[in-house]
Amino acid sequence: MATIYFLSTDNFSYPQLRRTLSGFFAAKGIHLFEYAVLSLFWYQAIAEGLSRWDRRAAILSFLAASMYAISDEFHQSLTLERTGNIMDLFLDWCGAFFSMLALGAAHRFGLSTALRRGSFTKAQKVDPL
């Protein structure tokens, strides 16, 4: 969350980037990505891991990320070179929602088995030479 807060300051305001179509889409894609990741982090903290599906944890994760998105847009409205934008808030909510939707679908269609085995959570031991 500190990273998102820091990226929302004037230090990372590049208005010239948003003047191009590719820059515009890159900036909007960052909104989707950062809140998708934030929502997954919240889910992992609330559900104590990713290995089981917990609808309550998914809802709470989405709400936590959404509340932070609101505070982030408010923070941006207080900076000199940025503005709070309802479209950005919507993209933040979409990122948080779709990450929970994707996680739920992954559990429904079999990824939870791989997660339970630990293949995505534990580092493999490497024997020294």
Task: Give the residue extent of every domain in the chain.
Answer: 2-117
Coil, helix or strand at residue 126: coil
How big is the chain, counted in residues?
129
Coil, helix or strand at residue 42: helix
pLDDT value for 19: 67
pLDDT value for 86: 86
For the record, the structure tokens of 6 come out as 């820091």
Q: State pLDDT tens for residues 66-89.
A: 998 898 888 777 776 767 778 888
Q: State pLDDT tens for residues 47-57.
A: 988 888 899 99
Nearest to 91 by CA among 33, 18, 39, 42: 33
Half-sphere exposure of 47 (CA within 13 A, CB side): 23
pTM of the model: 0.71
Q: State mean pLDDT over 102-121.
A: 71
Q: Hey, what amino acid is at 124? A: Q
